[in-house]
Chain A
Amino acid sequence: MDPLLDVRHLKKYFPIRGGLWQRHVNDVHAVDDVDLAIMPGESFGLVGESGSGKTTLGKTILRLSEPTSGEIFFEGRDICKATHDEMQGYRVDMQMVFQDPYSSLNPRMKVKDIVSESLLIHKRTKGRETLERVRELINLVGLMDDHLHRFPHEFSGGQRQRIGIARAIALHPRLLVLDEPTSALDVSVQAQVLNLLLDLQKKLDLTYLFISHDLGVIRYVCNRVGLMYLGRIVEIAPVEKIFDEPKHPYTLALLSAMPEADPDHKVQEIVLEGEIGSPINIPRGCRFASRCPAQFGRCHVEDPPLVDTGDKHMVACHLHPAKDAT
Chain B
Amino acid sequence: MLSSLLPSEGPLVKIRDLRLNFNTFDGVSKVLAGVNLTVEKGDVLGLVGETGCGKTMTALSIPRLIPCPPGEIVGGEILFEGEDVLAKSEDEMRELRASRIAMIFQDPTTNLNPVFTIEEQMIDAILCRMGEQSALGLTPFSRWQGSVREKRTEARHKAVEMLKRVGISQVEDRIGSYPHEFSGGMRQRVLIAMAMAGQPHLLIADEPTTALDVSIQAQILRLVKELVDEFHLSVLLITHNLGVVAKICNKVAVMYAGRVVETGTIREIFKAPKHPYTVGLLNAIPTRASRRGELQGIPGSIPNLLSPPAGCRFHPRCAHAMPQCAADPAPGMIPLTRTHQVVCHLFD
Q: Which residues of A contact B (CB under 8 A)?
A: 49-50, 156-159, 186-195, 198-199, 213, 215-217, 219-221, 243, 253-254, 256-265, 269, 271-273, 275-276
Contact = CB atoms under 8 A, between A and B. Distances in A.
A262 to B, nearest CB: 6
Nearest to A48: B213
Given A158-B301, A257-B217, A198 B293 contact: yes
Nearest to B242: A261
Main secondary structure on B side of the interface with A: helix
A190 B301 contact: no
The 5 closest A-B pairs by CB, nearest first: A259-B243, A191-B297, A192-B297, A220-B286, A257-B218
B219 A271 contact: yes
Contacts of B247: 259
B215 A253 contact: yes
A190 B241 contact: no
A265 B213 contact: no
B295 interface: yes
B298 A188 contact: yes
A159 B293 CA distance: 19
B222 A258 contact: no
Contact of A186 (B50, B283, B286, B293): B50
Given A187-B50, A187-B240, A216 B285 contact: yes
B246 A275 contact: no
B284 A190 contact: yes
Contacts of B298: 188, 191
B219 to A, nearest CB: 6
B287 interface: yes
Interface in B217-243: 217-219, 221-222, 240-243
Interface of B: 50-51, 183, 185-186, 213-219, 221-222, 240-247, 266-267, 270-271, 280-288, 290, 292-293, 295-299, 301
Nearest to B267: A263
B215 to A, nearest CB: 5
Given A220-B286, A263-B266, A271-B222, A188 B297 contact: yes
Contacts of B51: 157, 186
A219 B317 CA distance: 27
Given A189-B301, A220-B290, A261-B270, A275 B216 contact: yes
A264 B50 CA distance: 24
A243 B298 CA distance: 27
B203 to A, nearest CB: 19
28 contacts: A159-B301, A187-B242, A191-B283, A191-B285, A191-B298, A192-B297, A213-B214, A216-B243, A219-B288, A220-B292, A243-B288, A257-B215, A258-B243, A259-B244, A259-B247, A260-B246, A260-B287, A261-B245, A261-B270, A261-B285, A261-B287, A262-B270, A262-B288, A265-B246, A271-B222, A272-B215, A275-B186, A275-B215
A49 B296 CA distance: 27
A257 B293 contact: no
A219 B50 contact: no
Given A217-B286, A263-B271, 4 more contacts: A213-B213, A216-B285, A220-B292, A263-B246
Contacts of B183: 275
Q: Which of A159, A254, A259 has the most CB of B within 10 A?
A: A259
Nearest to B216: A275
Nearest to B185: A275
B284 A49 contact: no
Nearest to B277: A188
A8 B67 CA distance: 55
A243 B289 CA distance: 12
A77 to B, nearest CB: 32
A28 B221 CA distance: 31
Given A49-B213, A49-B214, A198 B297 contact: no
Contacts of A199: 293
Given A156-B301, A263-B267, A271-B222, A187 B246 contact: no
B4 to A, nearest CB: 33
B292 A188 contact: no
A259 B217 contact: yes
A198 B246 contact: no
A97 B282 CA distance: 27
A260 B299 CA distance: 23
Q: Which of B50, B183, B218, B266 has the most CB of A within 10 A?
A: B218
B185 A269 contact: no
A220 to B, nearest CB: 4
Contacts of A264: 271
Nearest to B290: A220
Nearest to B243: A259
A195 B297 contact: yes
B286 A194 contact: yes
A46 to B, nearest CB: 15
A199 B50 CA distance: 25
Contacts of B242: 187, 261
